[in-house]
A and B are shown apart, each in its own frame.
Chain A
Amino acid sequence: MYMSSASTHGSIGQPPKYSVKGLRALFGSHEVLHGVDIDIPAKGVTAVIGPSGCGKSTFVRCLNRMHELVVAARAEGTVALDGEDIYAHDVDPVLLRRRVGMVFQKPNPFPTMSIRNNVLAGKYLTHTHRRAEADAIVESALRKAALWDEVKDRLNAQGSGLSGGQQQRLCIARAIAVEPDVLLMDEPCSALDPIATARIEDLIHELKDQYTMVIVTHNMQQAARVSDQTAFFLQGDLVEAGPTNTIFTKPKDSRTEDYITGKFG
């Protein structure tokens, strides 16, 4: 496996945000990730690509310990966030998830909450809501998510009344409002039309200086467009990871090349 190249790119001299060693993920006794070693650089976008069922979603869900929420699911190995293993026994996954945000494939704004309250939901759910700061947080998060201008006059409308692309940007704003270090996105555009997709890709580009982002995508062109690093998974193995340019023009593994050129997928 060609993965050492992943650890030296990204912001020069900065240690990797995530350092993953020997990560195995299981559902019951069925192993879906077979020992993944990868470093994810701080700031910038890392794309995770591969055919259906290769384990890319599972991998990303191990980064914020959402994987284990499924019954009988567990993970083994070391996943170090800023040098701290998140799978250490004295780590509280709830606190972890306040530093690592997630955006899901199908936009899921809370239907009983207004747009404004959706953005504040993270604060509300973690009992860190402060009324004085609320308006400022809402505006800042919605601006960062490129949604402010479209909804500023109807902040009290239901979150579910927006279009698909707007809902997804609302979910991004919601994730940003808790001020995470990392943003994980699990195929954020696959339920959206091309125009909405383009807007989200622009958004990713704007955000990459402030957050470490890991994006799962089944769309190779998207990976090539938005990411700095790319990791290619196949059937539970990390086949190759490195700078996006290299992966897409001079892949080292023949399987990577076959996938990139569309021989399967």
Chain B
Amino acid sequence: MEAIAGVAGNTHDVSRSQFRGRAKKPSERVIEVLLVLSGLISVFTTAGILYTLAAETFAFFEHVSILEFVTSTEWTPLFADKHFGILPLVAGTVLTSGIAIAVALPFGLMAAIYLSEFAPSWARRALKPTLELLAGVPTIVYGYFALVFVTPLLQKVMPSLSGFNALSAGLVMGIMIIPMISSLSEDALASVSNSLREAAYGLGSTKLSAIFRVVVPAATSGVAASVILAASRAIGETMIVAIAAGQQPRFTLDPRVPIETMTTYIVQISMGDVPTGTVEYRTIFAVGSTLFLMTFVMNVFSQRLARKFRER
């Protein structure tokens, strides 16, 4: 209360116009403008991203045909014989992300079902932060993990596995995104009305039957939203694939060979000495635009699904 009294004590010279509409003191107006500008930084950021990507991408497409970009299966912008087909990079991205989701979906969903339907509250309190911890580990550490442990381990089982491959990177990315799926799916499952569970039990259903045949179907759009969001995260992931998946653009879905993802390519080029303003330099923005478009569409789709789930 002292703080409040202190505030009041400073205001004995305030004019009565305070009480009408917005602040009238000039200093108050200035403050408000500054705060609005702070808020607008996010809008400027979005505008900056869109402009930067678009400007360089348009310049890129003045030299490269969109058709080749979208349909060619060779990506060799740095070779003498240049091809600008993005499909190999997209394939590499889709392959690693697909493996990641294939791992994270079952694990994440099972974790969510356990936390929502079985775990006693003390277990839930202990396990949720543990899973969140996974999401806080820097991705470069995961990349190290994929290269130094997962690949050699898998090579013992699969001798044909090369040192850089999509499988190790995909598996490790999958572990990284498990918390996204488990946390959001758990929220979705927990929000399914208990009256549905009661109805199922009242009919003589076992717990597993009730879970798989009533509760999970009722939470489908919420779970789907979490999976799409996690997939978007995997598609945008850079360091794990840059370290462990290789730098060889290849139009394949073979998880045992080196490939290159969109994100790895962007990093690879910027570490080299490609001069600004060249077509080769602009490729990273063209690839970046593709990446941005893919993740943006997925994020929007996920948000729509989540909203549809909340409003049911």
Contacts and interface: CB of A to CB of B under 8 A. Distances in A.
- Kindly name the residue among A98, A122, A125 whose own CB sees the greatest number of chain B CB atoms within 10 A: A125
Interface residues of B, number: 20
Given A112-B217, A125-B214, A127-B209, A178 B204 contact: yes
Interface string B222-246: 0000000000000000000000000
Interface in B184-209: 193, 195-196, 198-206, 209
A125 B210 contact: yes
A175 B198 CA distance: 12
Contacts of A97: 201-205
B220 interface: yes
B204 A108 contact: no
Interface in A50-103: 64, 66, 69, 94-99, 101-102
Interface in A94-138: 94-99, 101-102, 104, 106, 108-112, 121-122, 124-127
A94 B195 contact: no
Given A104-B195, A171-B199, A111 B218 contact: yes
Contacts of A69: 198, 201
B22 interface: no
B63 interface: no
B213 interface: yes
Contacts of B198: 66, 69, 104, 108
A43 interface: no
Interface of B: 193, 195-196, 198-206, 209-210, 213-214, 217-218, 220, 312
A94 B202 contact: no
Given A104-B195, A110-B199, A94 B205 contact: yes
Contacts of B199: 104, 108-110, 171, 174
A126 B217 contact: no
A125 B203 contact: yes
B312 A122 contact: no
17 contacts: A66-B202, A95-B204, A96-B204, A97-B203, A98-B203, A104-B199, A104-B202, A110-B200, A110-B214, A111-B218, A111-B312, A112-B214, A112-B218, A124-B213, A126-B206, A127-B209, A178-B203
Contacts of B218: 110-112
Please provide the 7 A-B residue pairs with the shortest distance between their CB atoms, ordered closest to farther: A98-B204, A125-B205, A102-B202, A97-B204, A122-B203, A108-B195, A108-B199
A95 B205 CA distance: 8
